[in-house]
Structure 1
Amino acid sequence: MGKSGKKPRESHRQGRGRRASHFCDEDDYDLPSSAYDATPRQNEESSEDNDDTSEATAEDEPERDTEAGEQDQWQGSMPSKFHLYQLSVQSPKGDISYLQKFFLMYVGGRAPLHLQEDFCGTALLSTEWIRTDARRTAIGLDLDLESLEWCLENNLSKIGADGYSRMLLFHGNVLQPMESRLVKQKFTNLVHGLDLNSNNGTGSNSCKQMGLADSKCLANLTMSEADFPARDIICAFNYSCCCLHSRKDLVLYFRHVRSVLSERGGIFVMDVYGGISSERKLRLQRKFPSFTYFWEQDEFDIISRQTRISLHFQGGKKQMMRYAFTYHWRLWSIPEIKDCLEEAGFKWVHVWMREMPNTQSGGNAKEYNANRDVKYEESQHFNQGDAWNAYVVGVANV
């Protein structure tokens, strides 16, 4: 349960809705009592346990660059909550490794180049996607403007000017993606190869005539006014689809996804978690060299299948960032997800399962760390257990 999703302000809205975070003295907050880690990231070591176990990844996954040196520089103050989230929750290289694996297995015939990351937040995965291959492009979509702007300043800026020409971030709702608007960037470096659709109104024609050099024009660009390459892969990770609380909205979202996948074949990949532990109150923690990450899960409503998840961060001995992120989720079952994908027009749906460590096991945090040898496996049947993660893969146009 190390991954996390995004909280909408309403059940039908997309994005990483943020509850205001703040620091407080440790004495003012009763820390979670659980001594178990949440799912660890790759190559992140506990300062207490020096454990090198990591979240399962595909066999050909490259090693993730450690950021321990950067963490060691955090003296006196906590970094951004977005940076802490990326360190403690996300594993972009592992996700990309599986995305490539799924595409080659279920579509094949070409290398996937064009990615769309829905509920992208700080778009760390999209940034890593374009960093590793100069031919790749990425589109990120999220409802939280703050996280998108943070990405431009802290993630995409590290790629260089070429990154701005191959990755675009849009601010909007996944249920109304074509109305989302391009996030203001360094327009002098932006999208030299972007084609604008001349059939979508005067705004598009004006931008084309200005040669994409006018910042006001670009700032008003919507996704519907831009003619992007059809997506090879679309993903919604960190349990983001749990932000959609109704079946109607889930099917609508899947239909939007299906409509922009390549006619040559494409895949949609989402993750979901479950198990007995997902339907009860739960507190988990994971220690990092310079901070501790806490996952707090409220009581589970079995009628609505909804719960609230809160993420906290502790830096040093005295500072606590409470409710850095809070999400209200509906926990979808795998059969529900499969039915909705098929209703939305996906031809095939595949499920890859991975058993997670037992959250009720006694012992210290090291004992909860996942075994890096435990991989996701395609499954037709899977017995219920304490905790599991799954990738659900929808395949279209093959």
Structure 2
Amino acid sequence: MSAKPAKRRPSMAEQADIHELYEQSVQNVENEVEFLQTTFKQLAGRTAYLFREDFCGTASASCQWVLQGPEYQAIGVDIDPDVLEWGRKNRLSRLPSEDQARVSLIESDVLSVETPKVDLLAAFNFSYWIFDERATMISYMRRCYDALKDDGILFMDMFGGPEAFEETKEKTKHDGFTYIWHQAKFHPVTNHMRCHIHFKFPDGSRLKKAFTYEWRMYTAPELRDMLLEAGFSKATVYWEGDDDDGEGNGEFTPDDKGEADLAWIAYIVAEK
């Protein structure tokens, strides 16, 4: 009688959760919320309580926001029902019930969604670069303007530098996996770019194209000009400082010039 073949063990890639990997690789919602609140207080002279997270995905920032206290509320907006459901099951459900009640997740297009006016609105992880036509981008910015209270503030992130215009890969090792940022295509006439996120594991297995993005890479002057055209009174770039090794230290301050770094990430903060 022949022996039964050994049951194949699933690879690390097969067992992995791409949303968990993504957040471990590129998100630090604790630092984000601290930056949002601190900067809002400096500019508006008060505390922000009602937060809207556009392109919220798993809504981790919204969940972190309400942990500040019982008076804090968050609205997360995303057009993808699957990622919202993941967020409900894996992020929102972890909060105490009283905190869960202060997070509202809406499946909708950010160009048409209607929400109560908020103190602070954030569009992070470069997701708003999906609007590759200038007119559409300005339309989105005007929607953000209208969604804010009279002293409300819009926060966006952006990246740039010479390396951002290249077709290249960058690998970053994390505990238990390697994160690979792949700029697969770049068209200099339109600034259209196609980017992928891959993950590689110690057992040799991979998750290729776990995430794919089709964006127009906007420059800082373009974004500032469009925000002012959309009605904002002021648009300020917050540039990252350096640590002792010349690497980014995670601290962002206003800067009207920036540095000619090969690659950089910054925030743009628009006051109503």
> What is aligned with 2:57?
121
SS at match of 2:226: helix
Asked if 1:392 corresponds to 2:253, the answer is: no
Deviation at 1:235, TM superposition (A): 0.2
> What is aligned with 1:281?
167
**Among residues 34, 39, 43, which one is paired with 1:106 in the alignment?**
43
> What is aligned with 2:227?
341
**Among residues 138, 141, 162, which one is paired with 2:77 in the alignment?**
141
Q: Which amino acid aligns with 1:287?
A: K
Q: Aligned in 2, Cα 1:76/1:146: closer, same or farther, shift over 3 Å? A: closer
Structure 1: tracts of 5 or more residues without a match: 1-23, 26-74, 179-222, 358-366
Q: Counterparts of 2:205 and 2:259 in 1: how far apart (Å)?
A: 41
Deviation at 1:77, TM superposition (A): 5.0
**Among residues 229, 237, 247, which one is paired with 2:134 in the alignment?**
247
> What is aligned with 1:85?
22
Please give the root-mean-square deviation of Cα atoms over the aligned residues, in Å.
2.1
Asked if 1:292 corresponds to 2:170, the answer is: no
**Among residues 132, 135, 155, which one is paired with 1:269 in the alignment?**
155
Give a deviation string over 1:312-363, Cα, whole Å, max 9, x none. Answer: 1123322211111000110001111111111111111111112789xxxxxx
- The answer on whether the counterparts of 2:185 and 2:195 sit within 8 Å (CA) in structure 1 is no
Deviation at 1:98, TM superposition (A): 1.2
**Among residues 82, 93, 96, which one is paired with 1:157 in the alignment?**
93
Asked if 1:237 corresponds to 2:237, the answer is: no
The alignment's TM-score, normalised by the length of structure 2, stands at: 0.90
Q: Which amino acid aligns with 1:113?
A: Y
SS at match of 2:86: helix
Q: Aligned in 2, Cα 1:355/1:242: closer, same or farther, shift over 3 Å? A: farther
Deviation at 1:124, TM superposition (A): 0.7
Across the two proteins, how many residue pairs are aligned to each other?
Answer: 262
Q: Aligned in 2, Cα 1:76/1:245: closer, same or farther, shift over 3 Å? A: closer
- The answer on whether the counterparts of 1:78 and 1:315 sit within 8 Å (CA) in structure 2 is no
Identical amino acids, percent of aligned pairs: 30
- The answer on whether the counterparts of 1:118 and 1:174 sit within 8 Å (CA) in structure 2 is yes
Q: Counterparts of 2:216 and 2:52 in 1: how far apart (Å)?
A: 23
Q: Which has the higher strand share?
A: 2
Q: Counterparts of 2:95 and 2:223 in 1: how far apart (Å)?
A: 35
Q: Counterparts of 1:111 and 1:120 in 2: how far apart (Å)?
A: 22
